[in-house]
Amino acid sequence: MATTAIKRNLAPTYQANPSWFTKTKLFTIEILVKEFFAICKYVYYSIRYFCDPHQYNLDRPTPLQKQSAKIILLVHGQGAAPATFLPLAQKLQAVGLAVYTVKYESTEDNPLPTAVLIERIKELAKEHPFEEVELIGHSLGGSMAARLAFMENQGGLNDLGIKISKVISIAGRLLFIPDAWSWYCPKLEGELKILMQDYARNNEQAELFTISGVKDALIPTRSVHIGLQKNQQYMAPNRRHFETVFATEVHTQVLMQTLRWGSIAALTKAQ
């Protein structure tokens, strides 16, 4: 059954400009119906985060976080918000990691606004001097994270002594493959072509780990994993697109990868 789901994910029906009815049908079935419980979780965490965003220490450095030589920046997907990552962020914080979020808006003219990530990293660096960054992105956030990490000089961050050394892309479209949802980000194709060119040239700049959901109907599996070695990817069984960011097994993979990226002892600057 899993094999059938993967094959179906690899070869979705492609329509360059589907009708309003087709778009509405896709959105209703694949998101509102099949991912109803994931949407409910998103609403729940959004309310919690909205009521008191500062209590989670994801927007500004705390004295303890300032001791870390490495930070993690969580990048949400299109149409979502930082609250999407609240369950994962709390697990990362529980093992002593310095975790932050970023808020952005993607537009048709600027589908991957990497400048927002650059400015957020620079803003954090003013209060919290650090040397390395791990970007964890979901959906379009994964595309943005990879785009910046493999960009030449990482958008000028390297000149400031800051290096993006790892990217974890959760259900992020990294390779453009025409599918039933291509209309959702119509100008993303050009950005992803540049991303793949940069990745071919600069893939040693950062480590890339990709995660997909076996039942993800929004992003083709081949778009997520881009031919990486098996130990650089994970496929979450029975998970759809939005479910991946809340899934316990995905959180476990992220924690394992992040702790391997730098041990807790290495995260703290030598006194």
Query: DSSP assignment of 222-261, as one string?
Result: HHHHTT--GGGEEEETT--TGGGGT-HHHHHHHHHHHHHH
- C-alpha of 31 from chain center: 18
Instruction: Look at residue 227 in the predicted model and tell me its pLDDT.
Output: 66
Looking at residue 235, its pLDDT comes to 96
Residue 20 confidence (pLDDT) above 90: no
Which residues, in sequence order, are bridge partners of residue 169?
A: 137, 210
pLDDT of residue 6: 39
Structural element, H or E, at residue 211: strand 207-213
Q: What was the pLDDT predicted at 2?
A: 40
Cα–Cα dist 40/174, whole Å: 27
Answer yes or no: is pLDDT of 119 > 90: yes
Alpha carbon of residue 222 to chain centroid: 16
pLDDT at 226: 86
Q: Give per-residue pLDDT as tens, 129-139.
A: 899 999 999 99
> At 17, is the pLDDT very low, low, confident or very high (cuts 50, 70, 90)?
low
What pLDDT sits at residue 14?
53
With cut-offs at 50, 70 and 90, classify the pLDDT of residue 4.
very low
* Mean pLDDT score, 266-270: 41
Does residue 81 surpass a pLDDT of 80?
Answer: yes
Would the pTM count as exceeding 0.75? Answer: yes
Q: What is the H or E stretch that residue 153 is in? A: none
Is the pLDDT confidence value at 107 over 90? no
- Tens of pLDDT along 23-58? 677 778 887 788 999 999 999 999 999 888 888 889
Look at residue 263 in the predicted model and tell me its pLDDT. Answer: 55
Q: What confidence tier does 11 reach under pLDDT thresholds 50, 70, 90?
A: very low
